[in-house]
Amino acid sequence: MVNKMISIFKPKKIKDFNPIGLNIYTFNAGFKKKGKDLLLIIFDKTINVCCVYSKTSTPSAPIIWDKKNNKGRVKALVVNSGNANAHTGKDGLKIIDKYVKALTIIIKCKTNEVLVSSTGVIGEKFNPNLIINKFEKLNSKNKNSLLEGAKSIMTTDTFPKISIKNINLDNQSFKIYGIAKGSGMIQPNMGTMLVYIFIECEISKKLMSRLLKNNLDNTFNSITVDSDTSTSDTLMIFSVSSKKINLNKKNFKKLNYKINELMHDLSLQVVKDGEGISKLIRVNVLNARSKKQAKKIAFSIANSPLIKTAVAGEDANWGRVIMAIGKTEENIYQNKIRIMFGNYIVCENGSISKKINIRKLDNYMKNKTIDINVKLNLGKFNHTVYGNDLTFEYLKINSDYRS
């Protein structure tokens, strides 16, 4: 594997803390050549959980296993990085049976109270003993912080992804927080590769499911690094405290807003650490006929290799944006399109704008974040997709990932 250049978007300071209600353990189990690659979270008691998974038709074994077994209650989560346990057939499922069984004996819970995730190379043999060997080390001396947890699930990520928010409802304050991993094979079809969100209050599976439904579309389902959807995309949301909160309409709205902030933050961190990124691209499609149209056009722009290379080369090549709008075959009116790079107009009324200012545009393209604003002037629907540019670094990482 090549050494990956650290993302220019790596935060200078990353917050950390030791959560209450769960015990985090991280190990170097041997899936990766070096570094932590195993995360175990044991909850103080059995709690509510809500999960969403990739819509891929070739899901990894952990996705198949979780979907089959879990009933919305969880006592432990096992995550490894370095081997995706994907396309491993019946053996892949038996391997999970084996390490989950070993864990249930130690922590005294049911099989359907354990959730598992794996991320890494697809199709490789998976040795469950690498995980089982670490179970004897589950003691209070070995407990880790949330940040250590985020680090242990990284693959080609160059920084750990963590987000912590405080919320106050009816004068009771508590935290919501989460960790994620991403990097490559990112056009999630539900969440990114792996995301775990924790809410420090008692909340039903039904309400957690509503929180996800409300906020997935504009966060994890609106990011792309390379248009490739992983076999392992998983997002889990946990109710980690029995703190009683009256989640009436008003309070739920506040919680929903905070969850959106958290998910937006984590999903953006995934793009900002997208393989080879030199610029973050925010595509805003405005005034489309429908939400679906806005999203389709935004993804077409964000995934176009010709636009991604132009942005990498600091070229405001708006003709390629016109191309990417057109290739969707959406019902639009070409002469109504207005495109701006940041606040700088490039075309309107069906052709190049008379107000175009090349010098200012060139200067704008030197920014680390580039806004591509497309106004369709057809209706009232907007959508934003986050992506990144396509660089030599992406090619270097991915022509040599397994070696």
Residue among 192, 234, 384, 391 flagged as catalytic = 192
Q: Is 119 noted as a catalytic residue in this protein?
A: no
Closer to its own copies by Cβ: residue 249 or 354? 354
Closer to its own copies by Cβ: residue 40 or 324? 324
Tell me the C-alpha distance between 84 and 200, whole Å.
30
Alpha helices in 108-204 (DSSP H): 129-132, 146-152
Closer to its own copies by Cβ: residue 133 or 287? 287
**Minimum CB distance to its own copies, residue 14 (Å):** 28
**Minimum CB distance to its own copies, residue 342 (Å):** 18
Closer to its own copies by Cβ: residue 61 or 180? 61
Tell me the C-alpha distance between 95 and 54, whole Å.
21
Taking a C-beta distance cutoff of 8 angstroms, is the pair 146, 175 a contact?
no
**Minimum CB distance to its own copies, residue 223 (Å):** 15
Tell me the C-alpha distance between 386 and 300, whole Å.
12
Closer to its own copies by Cβ: residue 11 or 350? 350
Contacts of 266 (CB under 8 A, 6+ apart): 161, 163, 178, 179, 180, 192, 195, 197, 219, 220
Using alpha carbons, list the distances in angstroms from residue 250 to 244, 245, 268: 16, 12, 27
Torsion over CA: 364, 366, 370, 373 (sign): positive
**Minimum CB distance to its own copies, residue 143 (Å):** 34
Tell me the C-alpha distance between 242 and 77, whole Å.
19
Nearest to 104 by CA among 68, 146, 69, 67: 69
**Minimum CB distance to its own copies, residue 69 (Å):** 18
Q: Which residue numbers are catalytic?
A: 192
